[in-house]
Amino acid sequence: MRALFARSVAAIALAWFALISTAAPSLAGKRIPRPDHVLIVMEENHGFSEIINSPNAPYINSLASQGALFTDSHAITHPSQPNYLDLFSGSNQGVTNDSCPHSFDTDNEGSQLIAAGFSFRGYSEDLPAKGSQVCTYAKYARKHAPWVNFTNLSAKTNVPFTNFAKDFNRSNLPAVSWVIPNLLDDMHDGTVKQGDTWLQTNIDGYVTWAQAHNSLLIVTWDEDEGTKQNRIATIFVGPMVKPGQYSETITHYNVLRTVEAMYGLTPLGGAATAQPIKDVWQ
């Protein structure tokens, strides 16, 4: 009897082990990694078909081929500024145009990260000085730098893009950072080719470095060229990403929810009802 009982226990144990082993890959596939660094670059006013497979965007298409390209990615609305606020805080904060200035004290990606012990910084090309509150300067536009509008973020989180190279070379990048090219280099006033060249010149070093430093690049667009569909390109590149094309429908809220999930943050606003992206990870 004891021998029969022992055999039964052993059989149950083996069956349970087999079940766990079988389930493990699917469970692992649902885990969202925590990169050491996430860099988000926002481009302007071009739809998916104007970027993907365009001869004017060879570098961006090389990123798409080595990373995850989302083929059914959409902005939330038009015009630009509400989309930046949606991606940064899960809400347009009542802003439906490109007006400036604005001031909010609500939670956002930056304040969440800092409260949880992580770090955040926004780098803007042509920003005249650290912490500047100007609406425009040279080709800088505050409407494209959403963190500037939140009073619960200090001036040190708002820095000129010239600081990016310094922080990168000193291994001083924050956990999450945004890079905002100026109006010429983000394709708003300049061409797709100009924006593509700027990315290759200024971001490719990070892409190479990220492969050996558990870090992620996200390149996306604020909106398309003004259509109702508002379909944009969104690309993830990093050592934790499975290269390929992914057809699930996502919006800025899904991207925000994914970054929040990476760092264990409570989803904000529209991100609370959006699913984090789970199928692109190694």
Query: Based on the domain organization, do 75 and 116 belong to the same domain?
Result: yes
Judgement on whether residues 16 and 82 belong to the same structural domain of the protein: no
- 98-101 long-range CB contacts below 8 Å, 24 or more apart? 98/143, 99/143, 100/135, 100/136, 100/142, 100/143, 101/133, 101/135, 101/142, 101/149
Is residue 24 domain-shared with residue 86, that is, in the same domain? Answer: no
Helix (H) or strand (E) holding 207: helix 192-212
3 domain residue, yes or no: yes
Residue 162 in domain: yes
Q: Are residues 101 and 143 in the same domain?
A: yes
Q: Quick check: is 280 in a domain?
A: no
Region 82-100: what's the mean pLDDT? 98
pLDDT at 3 > cutoff 90: no
Q: How far is CA 58 from CA 26, 51, 53, 225, in A?
A: 35, 9, 8, 20
**pTM for this predicted structure:** 0.90
- Single out the residue of 27, 40, 20, 29 nearest to residue 175, CA to CA: 40
- How far does CA 254 lie from the centroid of its chain? 10
Q: Is residue 246 assigned to a domain? A: yes
Domain membership of residue 282 (yes or no) is: no
Specify the number of domains making up the chain. Answer: 2
Give domain status of residue 75, yes or no: yes
Count of alpha carbons within 13 angstroms of residue 159, beta-carbon side: 17
Q: What is the arithmetic mean of pLDDT over 246-257?
A: 98
* Residue 30: predicted pLDDT: 63
Residues 22 and 140 in one domain: no
- Nearest CA among 167, 185, 220 for reference residue 41: 220
240 pLDDT tier (thresholds 50, 70, 90): very high
Q: Are 56 and 159 members of one domain?
A: yes
Share of residues in the chain with pLDDT > 90 (%)? 88
9 pLDDT above the threshold of 90: no
Beta strands in 182-257 (DSSP E): 215-221, 231-237, 244-251
Q: Which of 29-43, 122-136, 180-194, 216-230 has the lowest mean pLDDT?
A: 29-43
Using a pLDDT cut of 70, give the percent of the chain over it: 89
Co-location of 64 and 125 in the same domain: yes
Same domain, 7 and 139: no
Determine the pLDDT at residue 15.
43
- Residue 145 in domain: yes
pLDDT confidence of residue 153: 98
Is residue 4's pLDDT more than 80?
A: no
Instruction: Give the Cα separation of 118 and 71 in Å (integer).
Output: 31
Based on the fold, state whether residues 61 and 156 are members of the same structural domain. yes
Task: Judge if 78 and 7 occupy the same domain.
Answer: no
Q: Is the pLDDT of residue 255 over 50?
A: yes
Domain holding 259, by residue range, is 35-273
Q: What is the pLDDT of residues 158-213, one digit of tens each?
A: 999 999 999 998 889 999 999 999 999 999 999 999 999 999 999 999 999 999 99
User: Does residue 44 sit in the same domain as residue 5?
Assistant: no
Residues 15-61 pLDDT 10s = 443 433 343 333 334 689 999 999 999 999 999 999 999 999 999 99
CATH code, domain with 196 = 3.40.720.10
Q: Is the predicted pLDDT of residue 277 greater than 70, yes or no?
A: yes
**85: which 2 tokens?**
């606020």
Query: Quick count: other Cβ atoms within 10 Å of Cβ 121?
Result: 23
- 175/74 same-domain check: yes
C-alpha closest to that of 244 among 253, 235, 252: 235
Q: How many angstroms separate the CA atoms of 48 and 24, rounded?
A: 36
Contacts of 236 (CB under 8 A, 6+ apart): 67, 68, 70, 216, 217, 218, 277, 280
Average pLDDT taken over every residue of the chain? 92
Distance, in Å, from the CA atom of 224 to the CA atom of 230, rounded to the nearest integer, reads 5
